Copies of this chain bind each other. A is one copy, B any other.
Amino acid sequence: MITQHTDVTTYLDDKRRLVEQALETYLPPADTLPPTLHEAMRYSTFAGGKRLRPVMLLMTAELFERDCRDMAFAAAALEIVHTYSLIHDDLPAMDNDDLRRGRPTNHKVYGEAMAILAGDALLTLAFQIMTDPTHLAHFDPVAIIHATRELALAAGSTGMAGGQALDMQAEQRQISVEELETIHRYKTGKMIAAAMRMGAFLAEARPEDLYAVTRYGELVGLAFQIVDDILDLEGSAETLGKNPASDLQRQKATYPSLHGVAQSKKYVEQLIKDAIQALHVFGERAYYLMQLADYMRSRTY
């Protein structure tokens, strides 16, 4: 039997639309108390991101034959945690960025205090969404607990926040390839792997399937980070919506800055090949996730 597949771009756009709808559902309206805080939370949430992490989470529904609409809440929670991290990373005390996706950063619009609070409130909102009792209609409570814990682990001190701490400390000094990969794994890798793992937990996946999607997530996550660093090195402010080579100006070590663009691209190729291999066990059901890995490469070349 030959399965007919929708065009990948159309498929991804459909998933992205579902993410946008879920975010609209869960973000507090800007006219509710406290209005300025809610406005600041919405400003960065609806700043036009790629929605990579939540789309990946929704894509796991097909692997495990679940309805991805039931998983939209978890996708929204994951994207909201990602958004909080961007707001805090941009703060003057951190990366001190004025522009994000071509628009002024949160603290440039609402001030530092409100930006810190908007990030805090978004992070908290994510866990409020994960534990909304309405999800009990579709998922086992223990599965929800595991998925929620996965989000916390990926975002916390041994995940994204820890990676940002290591990254800040790595500035202005030489770091090894090993340290660099640790920073990537903490800062970006775990949240991308969490997209896959949260879906797997919600679907009560078997241990071997959880392992397979974790491996895919980690490999794609590392590839994504390196591609991002290549774009940052080669890109322009126009296409990236931020100042080019801003990491380089701050002497921040990245994979392409340590190994050059050519070797970095070769490494990305290998990572994507391995990621696709990890999903072979799912056969046809992994079609779009394999396509997504492929698509990640095409962003660079």
Show the binding face of A for B, using Cβ within 8 Å: 28, 32-34, 36-38, 41, 84, 88, 91, 93-94, 111-114, 116-117, 119-121, 123-125, 127-128, 131-133, 136, 141-142, 144-146, 148-149, 151-153, 155-159, 161-162, 164-166, 168-169, 182, 186
Residues on the B chain within 8 Å of A38, using CB? 157
Give the interface SS of chain A, mostly helix, strand, loop or mixed.
Answer: helix
Q: In the complex, which of the residues B121, B136, B152, B159 contacts A162, with contact meaning CB atoms closer than 8 Å?
A: B121
Does the CB pair B152–A127 fall under 8 Å? Answer: yes
Does the CB pair A113–B93 fall under 8 Å? Answer: yes
Does the CB pair A34–B123 fall under 8 Å? Answer: no
Q: Give CA–CA (A84, B113) in the complex, Å.
A: 15
Residues on the B chain within 8 Å of A151, using CB? 127
Residues on the B chain within 8 Å of A158, using CB? 28, 32-33
6 A-B contacts (beta carbon < 8 Å): A38-B157, A91-B113, A121-B162, A121-B165, A127-B149, A131-B152
Residues on the B chain within 8 Å of A128, using CB? 149, 152-153, 156
